[in-house]
Structure 1
Amino acid sequence: MDDLSKSQMFVIHGVAAVGSVAFASALTYPLDTMKVLTQVASSSGKQLNAAELLLRILTLSGNSGISGLFSGYGSLALGRTLGLGARFGVYEIITAFYKDGLEDNYVSASDALLAGMAAGAVEALISSPFELIKLREQVSSASYIPNSTFALDKGAQPPLISRLLSGCYPDKRSLNQYVGLISTLSTKNTNVTSALLEYPWMMTGSGKPPSVCNVRRPSDIISLEGWGALWRGLRSGIARDSVFGGVFFSSWQFLHQAMLDWKAVGMDPPPRSDEEVGPLSPLFVSIAAGLSASVAAAASHAFDTTRTRSQCTVLPKYVSMERRLLKWKQPGNKFERYTGIHPSDRNLLFRGLRWRMARSGLASFMIVGSYFFAVDHLASNLT
């Protein structure tokens, strides 16, 4: 009977955790969309404000403009559930070793920092593919996709292009202009045109990579960019999630311990351990989680901007292969190379900071609060 009760409690905690993550992600997802578009659409000279971003989304996202704010939510919900499960699971496993042999379950802020950094690195490995797909859906929702007035006839799609990216048709105007630049022959010469179309770098007809709007489905990403694209920007992702996890758990542990000490003041007799103080209010725990997440988001935002901008870049696998063969060296100083920061993004690293702090703080507050509420509600019904 005890085993059955333990199994039921385990299911209750699992259902409450998944439900709280989905609920908080849904309510804060528009903030994440605004953050991503601020990071991607802003140049070094101008940063788009909230009104411009919102108008662009409502105008370009189709018949139901509000749906553009939730583009890619399914990928985020799945990736966030797996990622947060890995983050808290790894953190609990590591801190269990710290608490082994101690009289109480005390974890210092420094131990929480190290455990959180390790947990964040694992989270980055798991959530990277889902985050890439989510980000490209968000960017596509606010991107202008021109019509195919000047596209080649669909029946004339080159075999090489059809294998690399299904549904991509080169722009006939760009192709004719390109042929005119490199050849003295007429742009109507089918031999030159057909030959150029057999080169992967002529997929768009201009020598440029396809737009993110054309490479957002998992099958298209794998076909054109390879499996490694799902983990693009992994260095900056690990740096971001490691810093976030370390700062989040250490700040949360510090605030949690401060609240326990405050509650213990005036107790007679004085408690000998944290267990004797008793549980804290779920509201205060949720507020502490929200504050910790906001601080962690601010500390790791530079790496988040780098990760976002790198994932929004289409890099065909033949270009990646050429870079490996030529031993291409990533630009920037040693710190930038290790963390994946591109030198051209130095002035953009803190774009969207307020959006991310608000989203992280609200999401953490809602996740913890709804988790406690769901567990109490389900457990009361069980008994």
Structure 2
Amino acid sequence: MNELSQKQTLVVHGIAGAGSVALATAFTYPLDTMKVLIQVGSSTGKELDHAHVLTRLLSVSGNAGLFNGFGWLLVGRIFGLGARFGVYEILSAFYKDGRENNYLFASEALLAGVVAGAIEAVISSPFELIKLRMQVSSASYVPSSNFALEKGARTPLIARLLHGCYPDRRALDQYIGLISTLKAKNTNLTSALLEYPWTMTGSGSPPSVSNVRRPSDIISLEGWSTLWRGLRSGIVRDSVFGGVFFSTWQFLHQAMLDWKAAGMNPPPRLNEEVGPLSPLTVSLTAGFSASVAAAASHSFDTTRSRSQCTVLPKEYKGQGGQHSLLKLKKS
């Protein structure tokens, strides 16, 4: 009977935790979309502001664009936060083992948070990449059909690796014009260029994020390893966030317990004897700790966002790609 009660308690806590994560994610997701668009759209001397980003987003995708990719972030956050707090609880239990007052030092919370953040980054990386691609796509204009190649001109390679993408006719004509002065034996230069991944867009530039946002498109064009692109900066970001968050929270939580215990007579011997703290105070303390951690890790978050927004086609080694590349080299 006791085991059944424990299982029910675990299920209830799991459902409540997932619901809390979903509610918090939905509430803050539009702000996350704005943050990502500012991070990837700003450059040196040209920083975007919130008004410009919001106007662009609403004009391209409407209000629905604010929540584009929400499902991917929700799934990734449930798994990621579960791993973060699960690993932290295991490590903190190891540190507190054998101590009478169940006390955890801030330095120990820092180390546990660093490890927990690193594991969270590995688990949530694929979900964050897809989420970011969808957010950027929601604010990206689709090229006008007046300058797109007709559907019949799409090569099998483009149809397979870039679903729904039609190369820019104007850019392709300019690209062909630049190399038309070279001596070439290949009479069908356009088709040969479109068989090479770096020129599938018609201009020699990498494909747009709006054309490579679905998991199948990302894997076929860029490879499985792309799902963990920017992992090093992601590990540093989440490690810094986890370490600063848990250490700050532990320090402030212990300070609040000591403050409450100061007015008790007789003075409590253990933290458990102090009693629970005010839910509002605990929430404000957690929010402050998260704010400090976010400020400390923000630069690494920007680095990772820009890395994940870059499309890097893998070297296509299929028969068509090799044949077209050989023809270009002979030209």
Write out aligned runs for 1:110-149 (5 A). Answer: 110-149=107-146
Cα drift, residue 163 of structure 1: 2.6
Aligned partner letter, 2:12: I
Which of 95, 99, 106 pairs up with 1:98? 95
The residue identity in structure 1 corresponding to 2:117 is G
Residue aligning to 1:246? 243
Q: Equivalent residues in 2 for 1:2-21 (5 A)?
A: 2-21=2-21
* Match in the other structure for 2:57: 57
Q: In structure 2, what is the equivalent of residue 47 of structure 1? A: 47
Give 1:217's aligned amino acid: R
Hey, what's the Cα distance between the residues in 1 that align with 2:144 and 2:7? 56
- Deviations along 1:311-338, one digit per CA (max 9) or x if unpaired, are 010011129xxxxxxxxxxxxxxxxxxx
Indicate if the aligned counterparts of 1:139 and 1:212 stay in contact, CA closer than 8 A.
Answer: yes
3-state secondary structure, aligned to 2:75: helix
**Post-superposition offset of 1:236:** 0.2
**Contact in 1 for aligned 2:193/2:200 (Cα 8 Å):** no
- Give 1:266 shift: 1.7
> Does the 8 A contact of 1:168 with 1:203 survive in 2?
no
**Equivalent residue letter for 1:168:** C
Given candidates 216, 224, 227, the residue that maps to 2:224 is 227
Residue identity matched to 2:6 = K
| Aligned pairs for 1:69-84 within 5 A | 69-84=66-81
* Partners of 2:131 and 2:20 in 1: CA distance: 20
Aligned to 2:38: 38
What is the CA deviation profile of residues 56-93 of structure 1, one whole-angstrom value per residue up to 9, with x for unaligned ones?
A: 111111xxx11111111111111111100000000001
> In the alignment, is residue 67 of structure 1 matched against residue 48 of structure 2?
no
Match of 2:24 in 1: 24
Offset from partner CA, 1:263-285 (integer Å, 9 cap, x none)? 10121111111011111122111
Match of 1:347 in 2: none
Q: Residue by residue, what CA displacement relative to the aligned partner does 1:14-33 show, whole Å, maximum 9, x if unpaired?
A: 01100000000100111111
TM-score normalised by structure 2 residue count? 0.92
Residue equivalent to 1:155: 152
Q: 2:83 aligns with which of 61, 82, 86?
A: 86
Shift of 1:190: 5.9
Partner Cα distance (1:296, 1:98) in 2: 22
Q: CA RMSD in A?
A: 1.5
CA distance in 1, matches of 2:50, 2:78: 28
How far apart are 1:3 and its partner, in Å? 1.3
Instruction: Name the CA distance, whole Å, in 2 between partners of 1:194 and 1:206.
Output: 13
How far apart, CA to CA, are the structure 2 residues paired with 1:246 and 1:316? 35
Q: Which runs of 5+ in 2 are unaligned?
A: 317-331
In the aligned structure 2, how far is the partner of 1:35 from the partner of 1:184? 46
Hey, what's the Cα distance between the residues in 2 that align with 1:34 and 1:218?
A: 23
- Could you say which residue in structure 2 is the equivalent of 1:364? none
> Which one-letter code corresponds to 1:34 in the other structure?
M
1:272-321 deviation per Cα after TM superposition (whole angstroms, max 9, x unaligned): 110111111221111111000000000011100000000010011129xx
Contact 2:233 2:301 in 1 (8 A): yes
The amino acid across from 2:90 in the alignment is: I
AA aligned opposite 2:306: R
Q: 2:266 aligns with which of 252, 258, 269?
A: 269
Return the letter of the residue paired with 1:3.
Answer: E
Letter in 2 for 1:203: M
Query: How big is the shift at 1:156?
Result: 2.4
Give, in whole Å, the separation in 2 of the partners of 1:167 and 1:218: 14
TM-score, normalization by structure 1 = 0.80
Sequence identity (%): 75
- Further displaced range: 160-169 or 101-110: 160-169
Tell me the amino acid that sits aligned with residue 312 of structure 2: L
Amino acid across the alignment from 2:54: L
